[in-house]
Structure 1
Amino acid sequence: MFTQVKTYYPFIGPHDPCPPIRVKTYQTPPQLYIPFQQPNLPQFHLSEALKRGTLWPALYSPYEGRP
C-alpha cells in the first residue's frame, strides 16, 4: 500500500537564526502510483463521483488544508 503523504527531515545548520522545523510533509498525487489505467477499476456512484471530483477511488486524493 502506498501513502500520499511523505515526510522529510530538513538540514538544520548550527547557525540557523530561525527555530528549526523538525519534520516537513508534502503530498504526492495518486496518479504517480498508477502507471496506466487498468480495466474494470472500481467506480464511485455518479453522485459520489461528482462530490469527489473523480470517478475512480484509486485516483481520489482528499484535500487537507492547514488548520
Structure 2
Amino acid sequence: MHSQTRDYFPYVGPFDPCPPIRVKTYQVPPQLFMTFQPENLPQYSPMEALKLGTLWPALFSPYDPRLSHLGRGGT
C-alpha cells in the first residue's frame, strides 16, 4: 500500500517576516492508487461505513487535523 501523506519543501526567502515552516504535508486521495474498482472488494458493515465515510476499506483515508495546518515538523 502507498503512503497517502506527501511532503514538500516550500521556498524560504531571506527576507520573510515570519518564521518559516520548512516542511509542509498534504494528503493524497486513496482512489489515485486504483486504476479501476476491482470486483469483490471487502466492505465495512453499514454502521461502520457511516462512521468512516466510505463502504470500502481500500478507499478509506484517515484525517489528522494536526497535519493539515502545521506540517510534519511544524512550529
What TM-score do you get using the length of structure 1 for normalisation? 0.84
- Return the letter of the residue paired with 1:12: V
Determine the structure 1 residue equivalent to 2:7.
Answer: 7
Distance in 1 (CA, whole Å) between partners of 2:54 and 2:17 is 44
Q: What value does the CA root-mean-square deviation take over the aligned residues?
A: 1.6
* Equivalent in the alignment of 1:34: 34
Query: CA offset at residue 66 of structure 1?
Result: 3.2
Higher relative contact order (CA 8 A, sep 6+): 2
Partner of residue 65, structure 1: 65
Separation in 2, partners of 1:16, 1:51? 42
TM-score where L is the length of structure 2:
0.76
Q: Percent identity?
A: 64
Q: Aligned pair count?
A: 67
Deviation at 1:19, TM superposition (A): 1.1
Q: Which runs of 4+ in 1 moved over 2 A?
A: none
Structure 1 SS opposite 2:58 = helix
Residues 38-58 of structure 1: per-residue CA shift (max 9 Å, x gap):
001111122211211111001
Structure 2 distance, partners of 1:10, 1:66, is 18
Shift of 1:15: 2.0
